[in-house]
Amino acid sequence: MSGIIVIVLIVLVVLILLTSTIKIVQEYERGVIFRLGRLIGAKGPGLFLIIPFVDRMVKVDLRVVTLDVPPQDVITKDNVTVKVNAVVYFRVVNPEFSVVKVLDHIRATSQIAQTTLRNVLGQVELDELLASREKLNEMLQKIIDEHTDPWGVKVSTVNIKDVELPETMRRSMAAQAEAERERRAKIIHADGEFQASERLAQAGAVIAREPTTLQLRYLQTMTEIASEKTTTILFPFPIEMLKAFGGIFNSQSVAPPKAEKTDKPK
C-alpha cells in the first residue's frame, strides 16, 4: 500500500516538473525568461523548455492594443474650455524592454497619452482644433511615440475622436455659421443681379439697333399671356401708337372762337 502511495507521489512530482519545464507560447506572444533574476532573453513562439524553480517566464502580447483616452479638460490658446477624447493604437516591438524598463506599459502609455493630449491641444486655437485634426493627430503620435520608445512600445496611430464644446460656444458658432451663409447668399444674389443687368443692357442695345425686335418681343408676350388661365389681362400698348393718336387729335382740334367787339351805347 505504501508503495502505491510513493508511486502516486512520484507521478505527481513529475507532472509538476513537466508543467514547470514545458512552456508553450502563441504566435502573437513572446516569453521573456529570467534566470535567478537575470534577464536571459525572449523566446517563442512555439514550445520550449525552462529550468524549474530557476527560470521564470513573463508572457508579453505583441498584438495591437486599442487604448481609449478618457475625456480631458483642455483650455485652448484662445481661452476656450473643451473636453477632448482620443484613441491610441500601439503594440510592443521589444518584449524585453516592455518588461524590464516599465512596470505596466499599457497604463504608462495611457498616462503619457493623456498628458500629451492636454499639452498639445492647449497650444492651439479652437478653430485649428476643429479644422486641422489630421495635423494634430500626427503631432500627438510623434510625441507619444518618442516617450514610449524606451519601453519597447511603438505608437502607430492617434486619433482625436470627439471635441465637446460648451453650450454658449455652440450657440455662438451656430449664429456665426448662419451669418456666414446669409453673407454668401447676398453675394450670390448680387452677382446674379449684376449679370442680369449686363444681359439687359446688351438686350437694350440690340433693340435700339433693330426696332423690329421690340415688336417680336411684344408678340411673344401676348402669346404667353394668352396661354395663362386668367380673368384679367393687362394689355401692353406701345408708346409710339399713343404718340400717333396724340398727333391726330392735335391736328383736329379747333381753336375757340374769338369774342366780337360790340359798341356800347353812349
Largest CA distance in the chain: 188
Average pLDDT over residues 18-27: 86
Share of the chain above pLDDT 70, in %: 81
pLDDT top residue among 91 and 199? 91
- Would you give the DSSP letter of residue 150? G
Report d(CA 64, CA 92) in Å as an integer. 8
Alpha helices in 122-162 (DSSP H): 126-131, 133-148
Averaged pLDDT, 159-188? 81
What is the pLDDT confidence band of residue 266, given thresholds at 50, 70 and 90?
very low
Q: What pTM was computed for the model? A: 0.65
Domain boundaries, the chain: 13-60, 65-165, 166-226
**Among residues 170, 176, 142, which one has the least CA distance to residue 82?**
170
- For the chain, the C-alpha Rg in angstroms (whole number) is 47
What digits encode the pLDDT tens for the residues 93-150? 999 999 999 999 999 999 999 999 999 999 999 888 888 899 999 999 999 999 999 9
Strands 65-75, 81-92: pairing kind: antiparallel
Task: Check residue 26 and give its pLDDT.
Answer: 92
Architecture of domain 65-165: 2-Layer Sandwich (3.30)
